[in-house]
Amino acid sequence: MSTETFPLSAAAKVHLNNSPVQLIESSIRRGEARFASTGALMAVTGEHTGRSVKDKFTVRDELTEGKVWWDNNFSMSRAHFEVLLEDFKAHAKNLELYVQDLHVGADPEYRYNTRIMCEYAWHAVFIRHLLRRPSMQQLIGYKPDVTIVSLPSFRADPKRHGCRSGTVIAIDFKRNLVLIGGTSYAGEIKKSAFTFMNWAMPARDVLPMHCSANYGKGGDSALFFGLSGTGKTTLSADPKRTLIGDDEHGWSSKGVFNFEGGCYAKCVNLREESEPLIWAATNRFGAILENVVLKGDAADPDYDDQSLTENTRSAYPAEWIPDTDVSGIAGQPKNLVMLTADAFGVMPPIAKLNPSQAMYHFLSGYTAKVAGTEKGMTSAVESTFSTCFGHPFLPLHPSVYGNMLKNLIAKHNVDCWLVNTGWTSGGYGVGSRMPIKATRALLDAALSGQLKNMPMRTDPYFGFQVPTEVPGVDTKLLNPRDGWSDQAAFDTTSRRLVADFHKNFESFVPHVDTDVRNAGPLLKNAAE
């Protein structure tokens, strides 16, 4: 791939591969960010405090026409992208750019040289933390395979550029080039790299996954899938296990490897006692905080203050978590965990899935969100489905990733688990949040192999296997119906959730085998 997809000469001045300290100094000098009392660097991202999903476009051409999942991806014409590219270059002529030459992919066989060109110095240190940092030797003769350009001060013109607003994230898979304009949210850069891997990896027989991963003392690796707020980062940062990576991985014929070299943790309501490893990594010099409110003249981080956004984040290198395997590479997984925060309070705290059920729940990507503030009202809870636990980042149809997952599970005899970190003894507003101590105990039992030998029952609504007893765990938690004071309400709520699953899965039915279609919740039982 040519380095000229977006040449360094396009900028008025280039700062190439500055160190984190240099970048932090530049961001302070330029007024882009400020220090917290902890030494972390805090930046406010303004209008966009999360990804702008509706402003993300893929160039539609002869390469992508028959491959991209267009139901999920907005298209941009080749002509509009060419105009946008020239306007980006013209805009860069008046800017200093902070450029980092990095890697995506820990396994050298599947590694991509990824050049990140940033208008903001704090964006450059953010992405340096999150991607993989080449050695000095690896930088000799470095040529990018992928280039991502982030210019927050650029405002797109919908008529001229074929986009929706002044914000644009445009991906050209022919050039392996991403242009990001009109947003200061740093997560767009990280997720653009992930979107590229979701495009490139399946063709190389590697499953790209939006998951965290770790391994135990015996080298047994485990994968953790889950949407925001389900505990993916928290549960994978386990003091008893070694972290492989926080958020994005590939699964090849050789095993699991991290795409990244850092962590991007949610830090709303962060507490040292409940998340000591994330707390320590977040509260030190060089960590990057996004939209965390700093209190008073002392500039102490207030992790409970959500006045800027609920989506407050911290970014730091993976090695800041003790016992992280900096190689980012591990063997074949023995366990796969799908996390959900079920606010309806009807899912058990853990369930065992067969391969067909695992594919069904992977394609479903279920969690629940609280849509209102009225306590005890089921109308305040909404089902949320994000296929493959990351639908915004999928250029290809979900069945591509789902079938790869099913085959890998079967080939490597992986035990699959569905874990509910949401509510128990009632839904949101009535019940209580699942005790994290119980979740960790159940996960320990699952990952050690102990749980699969425990007595199981078949859940009448969801069809999966649920343990009836686990040492140290309250049996009422294991059968959520027992914890409800109104068991008729439990049945009604379960039926509603089953119906939501079936409605969501309708679009996948033509793309999956009969065994997967039959692996979902039991609609017949739910109708009784």
Give catalytic residue positions: 51, 191, 210, 228, 232-233, 247, 313
Residue 368's DSSP bridge partners are: 383
Residue matched to tokens 């490897």: 257
The span from the CA of 236 to the CA of 244, in Å, is 9
Residues in the chain, how many? 528
Report d(CA 45, CA 33) in Å as an integer.
10
Report the candidate in 153, 162, 228 with the shortest Cα–Cα distance to residue 389.
228
Asked whether 187 and 264 are in contact (CB, 8 A), the reply is yes
How far apart are alpha carbons 495 and 120 in whole angstroms? 50
Q: What is the DSSP letter of 4?
A: G
CA 51 to chain centre: 12
Q: Compute, in degrees rounded to 10, the torsion defined by CA atoms 313, 314, 319, 322.
A: -90
Q: Name the nearest CA neighbour of 115 among 199, 16, 23.
A: 16
Q: What is the spatial distance between Cα 79 and Cα 254, in angstroms, rounded to a whole number?
A: 41
Q: Which of 211, 217, 255 is nearest to 358 (CA)?
A: 211
Q: How far, in Å, are 170, 343, 357, 364, 462 from residue 520 at the CA level?
A: 36, 19, 7, 9, 7
Q: And the tokens for 416?
A: 């699959």
> Distances from the Cα of 450 to the Cαs of 205, 442, 447, 454, 469, in angstroms?
32, 10, 8, 7, 12
Radius of gyration of the chain (CA): 23
List CB contacts of 441: < 8 A, sequence separation 6 or more. Answer: 470, 472, 473
Q: Which DSSP string corresponds to 31-96? A: TS-EE-TTS-EEE--TT-SS--GGGEEEEESTTTTTTS-TTTSEEEEHHHHHHHHHHHHHHHTT-E
The amino acid that residue 202 corresponds to is P
